[in-house]
């Protein structure tokens, strides 16, 4: 972006970085028409935004009753720009039979798999062992 100085100050508005990571700002200015001088600012970090949605990295496949899911269920937590959130979250996964889901009623005993898990680094949650209930 470019900006003109006003009273010795240049303002850059509506700047945004759409992904987390480490960055630094570099700016250039012209002392004379043909000579450009460069300067590098201090480094800074952009973090992921707040949790916006949960994405299936690996969905469970059909499994026999009592058998472990293969591959294991894996979820990823992302912000509104689909950046992976590398923050630890505590959450509970509840799996219900589809007949209860489509009825739209809350049935307490419909929980077949309940997993309290802490999100490990990398923004990914894995459930192991994930077993189909009887």
Q: Is the pTM of this model over 0.85?
A: no
pLDDT of residue 123: 55
Report which of residues 128 and 17 the model is more confident about.
Answer: 17
For 84, the token pair is 């992976």
Neighbouring-strand partners of residue 128: none
**pLDDT tens readout for residues 78-130:** 888 888 887 766 666 655 555 544 444 444 444 444 344 444 445 555 554 44
pLDDT of residue 75: 75
Q: Are 74 and 56 in contact (CB under 8 A)?
A: yes
Report which of residues 9 and 95 the model is more confident about.
Answer: 9
pLDDT of residue 48: 81
pLDDT of residue 81: 85
Distances in Å between the alpha carbon of 46 and those of 7, 22, 38, 43, 83? 30, 6, 23, 10, 11
For 128, the token pair is 């192991």
Using a pLDDT cut of 90, give the percent of the chain over it: 0
Please state, in angstroms and rounded to a whole number, the distance separating the CA atoms of residues 89 and 54. Answer: 12
């Amino acid at each position: 972006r470019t900006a003109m100085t006003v009273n010795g100050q240049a303002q850059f508005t509506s700047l945004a970085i759409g992904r987390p990571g480490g960055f630094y700002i570099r700016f250039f200015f012209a002392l004379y028409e043909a000579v450009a001088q460069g300067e590098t600012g201090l480094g800074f970090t952009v973090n992921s935004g707040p949790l916006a949605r949960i994405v299936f990295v690996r969905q469970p496949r059909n499994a026999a009753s009592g058998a472990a899911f293969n591959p294991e269920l894996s979820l990823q937590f992302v912000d509104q720009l689909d950046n992976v959130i590398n923050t630890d979250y505590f959450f509970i996964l509840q799996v219900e039979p589809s007949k209860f889901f489509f009825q739209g009623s809350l049935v307490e005993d419909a929980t077949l798999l309940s997993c309290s898990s802490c999100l490990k680094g990398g923004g990914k949650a894995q459930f192991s062992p994930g077993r189909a209930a009887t």
